Amino acid sequence: MTSFSRGQRVIGAATHYVENQPPWRVDIDEFAVNEPLTAAVEAFGAGWAAPALHDAGALVGSTAFQRDAHLANVHTPVLHTHDRWGFRLDEVEYDSSYHRVIAAALAHGAHTSALSDPRPGAHVARAATFMLFAQVEPGHACPVSMTHAAVASIRDSPWVADGWLPRLYSREYEPRLLTAEDKTSALIGMAMTEKQGGSDVRAGTTVGESMGGHAYQLTGHKWFCSAPMSDGFLVLAHTRSGATEEGLSCLFVPRLLPHGMRNVFRLQRLKDKLGNRSNASAEVEFDGTVGFVLGEPGRGVRTIIEMVERTRLDCVLGTAAGMRQAVAEAVWHARGRTAFGANLVDQPSMTAVLADLALESEAAMLTGLRLAQLFEAEASDRDVALRRLATPVSKYWVCKRGPQHAYEALECLGGNGYTEAFPLARRYREQPVMAIWEGSGNVIALDVLRALTRDPDSAEAFADELSATTGASKVLDTHAERTLALLGRLAGADPGEAQAQARRLTESLALAFQASLMLRHAPSTDAEAFIAARLGEDRGAQYGVLPAGTDAAAIVARH
């Protein structure tokens, strides 16, 4: 038998030798090779978490984990409404690969580590962990995020919190529906929207009749129930006690009642989704379902608002994680493939595209970690005011940038990128869910206006945040001045005019926020290129349109 070295051409061979294709990007520490992330974790006060983040980075970069990420999206969840004898079962079967992925994420604290072990930088460390896992397999991040966020809605209701929070803080994973005596951990899902209302949750028709105490019996349906095999769910319903209408309430609905009895939780069908396919989403019907009110009856929106803020944060983190995957795969491909006599990465037009994608990724990551920092246990009143405005602003912009970013990175791989054998086709289908989940574009932009109206301190805190870089960039100074002037005008404008300009304001605020963060935390080469490409007079509409003289190769090398 004759062997041939790589690159040797053989005429008339029975098989062909694969040339000019980069190897599989596996068995690397995804935290160690992400220089912008490692620097940001240190800058935002979570340097102490580096050893654990290296462990997580090596795990998600391993061949085994990346194969599980692929399999979990190929072997998608299957609904079993009844067992073989005809009894209601209402269970979703996941591939074993999905269970391995989510078990690893929980073991590393991607869900509630910042809450179970509060310390300076804990939320930043948790955010970085979440991004590492979501970078490789995004679907499992949905129940991980909801479990993290649900704590904020549950913790002030001791009749639920006392028994459930220790289970939410656990790093164990058990996929079966078991009683608290047999299962010390738990995941939380959500069932908020209905088909006739969508984002207008007050238009829902699900009702809850008081059973006395904190318990209610629910009747109705939900059009989207996220992660239906979770152990408990946050549900919105119009509650009443006798003849008294209480209003829209938030309730905690467990899958299992005391003594192991199954709560009524009828899964009608699973959604056939564009992306997020490893994670199930279902339609669910309640018929005498038992739920326990959280907070005050009739104050459901107030109860879930803290949860919504945190899931919106995770939308930003999830999108940033996807951007990092897109950049890493595109740069890897460009370094390992030649075209027209040179490596792709060294072709000036490709270098510019990769550098621009990298700038977008870094700005999104810095935005996510800065938001996470605002949720720290020691956050000041100013931080709380800032996050009330900065969270919807960032959720709107970063998540809307995700799909186009994924597409441009996919194109860097050419035909390979368009196939399901490579991860960027999956990423392209995944990114839109972050922009839709927890409020699509108009809902988020209107929430920005509400933040300005209901929390005037948020505008002042935002202006204060931008002032940290005043004088560092004339382009940013001009943009910030114009943006804050628009903010002031819309704060007192007619509601119709304000709503018509809400997207413009939100976009302008987001770019100012990102540019300021880049100036503070990125190398000057990166920050100046980002500002000129996003805010400068000769900015372009597509990725790869960078100012003349930009050291694109240096930017790419850092990523």
- Any idea where the domains of the chain sit in the sequence? 35-169, 188-300, 302-558
At 285 the three-state DSSP class reads strand
On whether the CB atoms of residues 138 and 97 are closer than 8 A, the answer is no
Phi, psi of 380, deg, nearest 5: -80, 170
Nearest to 178 by CA among 91, 117, 237: 91
**Token pair for residue 255?**
């899958």
Residue 374 is predicted with a pLDDT of 97
**Token pair for residue 69?**
């990420």
Q: How many CB atoms lie within 10 A of CB 383?
A: 17
Q: What is the phi-psi region of residue 340: left when phi exceeds 0, alpha when psi lies from -120 to 50, beta otherwise? A: left
CA-to-CA distance for 236 and 225, rounded, in angstroms?
A: 12
CA-to-CA distance for 384 and 337, rounded, in angstroms?
A: 47
For 314, half-sphere exposure in the C-beta direction (CA atoms, 13 angstrom radius) is: 30
Residue 54 is predicted with a pLDDT of 98
> Of 1.20.1090.10, 2.60.120.10, 3.40.1390.10, 2.40.110.20, which CATH number belongs to 188-300?
2.40.110.20
Q: What is the phi-psi region of residue 213: left when phi exceeds 0, alpha when psi lies from -120 to 50, beta otherwise? A: left
Going by their DSSP bridges, the two strands 342-343 and 338-339 should be labelled as antiparallel
- How far CA 221 is from CA of 100, 196, 210, 553, in Å, comes to 31, 11, 18, 54
**Token pair for residue 259?**
């003594």
**Token pair for residue 138?**
């995004």
CA-to-CA distance for 13 and 413, rounded, in angstroms?
A: 28
HEC string of 347-392 equals: CHHHHHHHHHHHHHHHHHHHHHHHHHHHCCCCCCHHHHHHHHHHHH
Count of positions (residues) in the chain? 559
Q: Which fold has domain 302-558?
A: Butyryl-CoA Dehydrogenase, subunit A; domain 3 (1.20.140)
Tens-level pLDDT at each residue, the chain (559 residues): 334 344 455 555 566 788 899 999 999 999 999 999 999 999 999 999 999 999 999 999 999 999 999 999 999 999 999 999 999 999 999 999 999 999 999 999 999 999 999 999 999 999 999 999 999 999 999 999 999 999 999 999 999 999 999 999 999 999 999 998 899 999 999 999 898 877 788 888 999 999 999 999 999 999 999 999 999 999 999 999 999 999 999 999 999 998 889 999 999 999 999 999 999 999 999 999 999 999 999 999 999 988 999 999 999 999 999 999 999 999 999 999 999 999 999 999 999 999 999 999 999 999 999 999 999 999 999 999 999 999 999 999 999 999 999 999 999 999 999 999 999 999 999 999 999 988 899 999 999 999 999 898 999 999 999 999 999 999 999 999 999 999 999 988 899 999 999 999 999 999 999 999 999 999 999 999 999 999 999 899 999 999 999 999 999 999 9
Residue 243 is predicted with a pLDDT of 94
**Token pair for residue 260?**
């192991």
- Displacement of CA 418 from its chain's centroid (Å): 23
CA angle 353, 354, 356 (to 5 degrees): 65
CA-to-CA distance for 104 and 352, rounded, in angstroms?
A: 36
Nearest to 424 by CA among 333, 543, 314: 333
From the DSSP assignment, how many helices (H) and strands (E) are in the chain?
19, 11
At 107 the three-state DSSP class reads helix
**Token pair for residue 65?**
């984990």
On whether the CB atoms of residues 36 and 521 are closer than 8 A, the answer is no
On whether the CB atoms of residues 382 and 345 are closer than 8 A, the answer is no
CA-to-CA distance for 441 and 268, rounded, in angstroms?
A: 29
CA-to-CA distance for 545 and 541, rounded, in angstroms?
A: 8
CA-to-CA distance for 142 and 314, rounded, in angstroms?
A: 9
* Look-up of token digits 């996470």: 372
CA-to-CA distance for 236 and 356, rounded, in angstroms?
A: 42
Residue 198 is predicted with a pLDDT of 76
CA-to-CA distance for 306 and 153, rounded, in angstroms?
A: 7
On whether the CB atoms of residues 20 and 337 are closer than 8 A, the answer is yes
On whether the CB atoms of residues 190 and 269 are closer than 8 A, the answer is no
The one-letter amino acid code at 60 reads V
At 92 the three-state DSSP class reads strand
CA-to-CA distance for 385 and 73, rounded, in angstroms?
A: 39
On whether the CB atoms of residues 55 and 108 are closer than 8 A, the answer is yes
Nearest to 34 by CA among 392, 314, 450, 325: 325
The DSSP symbol for 262 reads B
CA angle 227, 230, 236 (to 5 degrees): 75
- How far CA 232 is from CA of 165, 178, 185, 254, 513, in Å, comes to 11, 12, 11, 4, 36
* Look-up of token digits 């509400």: 450
Q: How many CB atoms lie within 10 A of CB 94?
A: 21
CA-to-CA distance for 151 and 263, rounded, in angstroms?
A: 22
On whether the CB atoms of residues 481 and 438 are closer than 8 A, the answer is no
Q: What end-to-end distance do the CA atoms of the chain give, in Å? A: 43
